[in-house]
Amino acid sequence: MDGYRGEVIIFQAPDGSVELDVRLDRENLWLSLAQMAALFDRDKSVISRHINNVFRESELDRDATVAEFATVQAEGTRQVTRVLELYNLDAIISVGYRVNSLRGTQFRIWATRVLRDHLLQGYSVNAKRLQEMNRAFRLVSSMADGSSPTRPSWP
């Protein structure tokens, strides 16, 4: 990718111990190896090992989850453009479920809660909307074919 065009959001851990600039681009969230190390409170070599295992075990496809972003860094008095590998949300989640640290555990608790809430509450909300749409469709259909709109056939 030729440079960064996305939005930057600042993430701060609830205890204030870590603050990250999170990149949003191509409808995804991206973190560098160093940012994941800070997020999960582990050395970059540990995070790198987990990432390599994710790809080696074919859990994720490297081409689909890694992007190169150009960034400008100040080195002394000069500005240098460097290319960083950033990992998308799929890779971040995969590493989060592998890393052994307090923050990794906190991440898994959070991710599991979000997934559970989405599956349970999200589905029930969508099912309710689907049922309401079905009722509205039946009402409109009954009106179109001359049936009484006051007495639609409800499920």
Asked, for residue 89, whether it belongs to a domain, the answer is: yes
Asked, for residue 2, whether it belongs to a domain, the answer is: no
- In total, the chain counts a number of residues equal to 155
What does the radius of gyration of the chain's CA atoms come to, in whole angstroms?
A: 23
Same domain, 132 and 147: yes
Q: HSE-up of 77 (CA within 13 Å, CB side)?
A: 0
Residue 18: domain span:
7-100
Q: HSE-up of 31 (CA within 13 Å, CB side)?
A: 26
Q: Higher-confidence residue: 11 or 41?
A: 41
Is 68 in contact with 1 (CB distance < 8 Å)? yes
The yes-or-no verdict on residue 58 having pLDDT over 90 is: yes
pLDDT digit string, tens, across residues 91-147: 999 999 999 998 888 888 878 877 887 777 776 566 676 777 777 777 776 666 665
Same domain, 95 and 110: no
Q: HSE-up of 126 (CA within 13 Å, CB side)?
A: 7
pLDDT digit string, tens, across residues 63-103: 999 999 888 888 889 999 988 899 998 999 999 999 999 88
Full-model pTM: 0.63
Asked, for residue 90, whether it belongs to a domain, the answer is: yes
User: Would you give the DSSP letter of residue 119?
Assistant: I
Same domain, 60 and 107: no
Plot region of 7 (φ>0 → left; ψ -120 to 50 → alpha; else → beta): beta
